[in-house]
C-alpha cells in the first residue's frame, strides 16, 4: 500500500498569503485529512513560488546517446530579458550576461527557440499549467513585493495553521528543497541551504515537520555538503530523492548525470543515510526505513521513441534504482 504522496501542491495564494488563501488553506486541511483516512501519512510538498523546478533543455543529449535534463543560466537570462521581457529583469544580471544572452538568442534557430519557450513556460512534470508569456509576466508581478523573509514567514504561518491536523492525524509533512536553489525571474527561494533548513526546523522543532532530502536539488548549490546535511538533520528526513547532477565549470549551469556519476558522491550520501537509519532502529523514531526513490532518469533505449514526461522515463529510472540498490547492498 502507498504510504507516501508526492506532492500535495500548495496554492500560490497561500504562498503569497493573499487572495483566497484562507479558503485554500481550508481545502488543504481537508486534503490532509483525506490522505490520513487512506493511511497515506508521509507527505511531500514544496514552497517554490509559481514555477516549481526549472530546466532549460528537456532533451540534452549526452555522449552515450541518452537524454537528460539541463539548466543553463544564460538561457534563462535570454528568455527573461528578450522573450518574456520581464520587468526589472536587467537588474538581476550583469551587463556582460545580458550582452552574451542577446548574442546567444541571435544564434538560435526557430526550433531551438521553440524548445526553450516550451521548457520555461511549463514543460516540466511538476508544473500544473503551461503559461503564455503574458500570463507568466502577470503571475511574476503578483510576487513582486515578496522577498526571502516574507516567503519564509508565509511558510511559517501556513505550517502553524495546518499543524493541528498534522498532529491529530499523525502525519509527516516534508518540504522539498528548491530546484534550482537560486532565484529565477526574481522569485525568492527559501529552502536551498543549511540556514534555510534551520529556519524550517525551528518553526516547530518537531520531526513531523520534516524534510524531503533531494540530493539533486541540494547538490546544485556547490556550498552544500550533503553527507553533513544528512548527519545534521537526519531525524527530520522522512523522504529521500536520490539523483546526481554535473556542475558545468564555475557557472550556475548543471545537467542531470547518471545516478553514480556526476559531481555528487552518491556512495558517501547513501552511507550517511544508512547510518541515520541504524540510529533510528535504536531510537523511538516512527520511520525506521526512510522511503526513497530514484529521482529522475535518463531517456534511454526504446523510451526515446515513447512519449514520456521529461525526467520520468521508465527505463532510465529503473536503471537508476538498480544502481542505487547495488550501492546499498554493497555497503550493508
Determine whether 233 is an active site residue: no
**Phi, psi torsion values for 257, nearest 5 degrees:** -95, 180
**Catalytic annotation present for 296:** yes
Q: How far apart are CA 58 and CA 71, in angstroms?
A: 9
Q: Which of 28, 45, 131, 176 is catalytic?
A: 176
Catalytic residue among 214, 236, 255, 303: 214
Helix, strand or coil, per DSSP, at residue 255: strand
| Active-site residue flag, 100 | no
Q: How far apart are CA 3 and CA 262, in angstroms?
A: 31
The residue behind cell 521548457 is: 119
Whether the CB-CB separation of 189 and 48 falls below 8 Å is answered with: yes
Angle between helix axes 226-233 and 194-204 (nearest 10 degrees) is: 10
**Alpha helices (H) along 169-265:** 194-204, 215-220, 226-233
CB 281 within 8 A of CB 292: no
Instruction: State phi, psi for 254 to the nearest 5 degrees.
Output: -160, 160
Set 241, 253, 258, 303: catalytic member? 241
- Gap between the Cα atoms of 232 and 193, Å rounded: 12
Q: State the DSSP H helix or E strand holding residue 277, giving kind and residue range, or none if neither.
A: helix 266-281
Counting every residue, how long is the chain? 332
Is 44 a residue of the active site? no
Q: Give yes or no: 295 in active site.
A: yes
Whether the CB-CB separation of 43 and 8 falls below 8 Å is answered with: yes
Q: Is 179 a catalytic residue?
A: no
Is 104 strand, coil or helix?
Answer: helix
- Provide φ and ψ at 114, rounded to 5°: -65, -40
Q: Quick check: 84 and 137 in contact, CB under 8 A?
A: yes
- Catalytic residue set: 176, 214, 241, 295-296, 312
Amino acid at each position: 500500500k502507498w504510504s507516501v504522496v508526492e506532492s500535495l501542491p500548495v496554492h500560490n495564494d497561500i504562498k503569497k498569503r493573499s487572495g483566497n488563501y484562507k479558503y485554500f488553506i481550508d481545502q488543504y486541511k481537508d486534503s490532509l485529512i483525506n490522505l490520513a483516512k487512506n493511511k497515506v501519512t508521509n507527505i511531500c510538498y514544496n514552497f517554490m513560488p509559481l514555477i516549481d523546478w526549472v530546466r532549460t533543455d528537456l532533451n540534452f543529449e549526452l555522449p552515450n546517446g541518452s537524454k537528460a535534463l539541463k539548466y543553463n543560466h544564460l538561457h534563462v537570462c535570454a528568455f527573461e530579458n528578450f522573450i518574456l521581457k520581464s520587468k526589472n529583469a536587467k537588474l538581476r544580471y550583469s551587463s556582460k550576461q545580458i550582452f552574451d544572452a542577446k548574442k546567444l538568442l541571435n544564434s538560435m534557430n526557430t526550433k531551438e527557440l521553440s524548445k526553450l519557450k516550451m521548457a520555461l513556460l511549463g514543460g516540466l512534470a511538476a508544473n500544473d499549467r503551461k503559461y503564455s508569456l503574458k500570463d507568466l509576466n502577470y503571475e511574476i508581478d503578483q510576487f513582486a513585493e515578496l522577498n526571502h523573509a516574507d516567503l519564509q514567514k508565509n511558510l511559517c504561518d501556513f505550517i502553524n495553521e495546518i499543524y493541528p491536523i498534522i498532529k491529530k492525524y499523525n502525519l509527516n509533512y516534508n518540504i522539498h528543497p528548491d530546484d534550482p536553489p537560486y532565484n529565477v525571474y526574481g522569485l525568492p527561494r527559501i529552502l536551498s541551504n543549511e540556514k534555510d533548513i534551520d529556519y524550517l526546523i525551528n518553526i516547530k522543532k518537531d520531526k513531523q515537520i520534516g524534510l524531503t532530502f533531494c540530493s539533486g536539488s541540494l547538490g546544485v548549490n556547490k556550498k552544500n555538503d550533503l553527507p553533513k546535511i544528512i548527519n545534521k538533520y537526519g531525524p527530520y528526513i522522512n523522504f529521500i530523492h536520490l539523483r546526481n547532477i554535473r556542475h558545468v565549470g564555475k557557472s550556475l549551469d548543471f545537467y542531470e548525470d547518471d545516478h553514480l556519476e556526476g559531481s555528487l558522491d552518491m556512495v558517501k550520501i547513501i552511507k550517511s543515510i544508512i547510518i541515520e537509519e541504524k540510529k533510528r532502529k535504536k531510537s523511538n523514531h516512527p520511520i525506521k526505513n526512510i522511503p526513497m526513490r530514484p529521482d529522475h532518469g535518463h531517456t534511454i533505449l526504446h523510451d526515446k521513441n515513447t512519449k514520456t514526461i521529461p525526467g520520468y522515463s521508465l527505463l532510465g529510472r529503473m536503471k537508476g534504482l538498480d544502481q542505487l540498490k547495488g550501492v546499498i547492498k554493497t555497503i550493508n
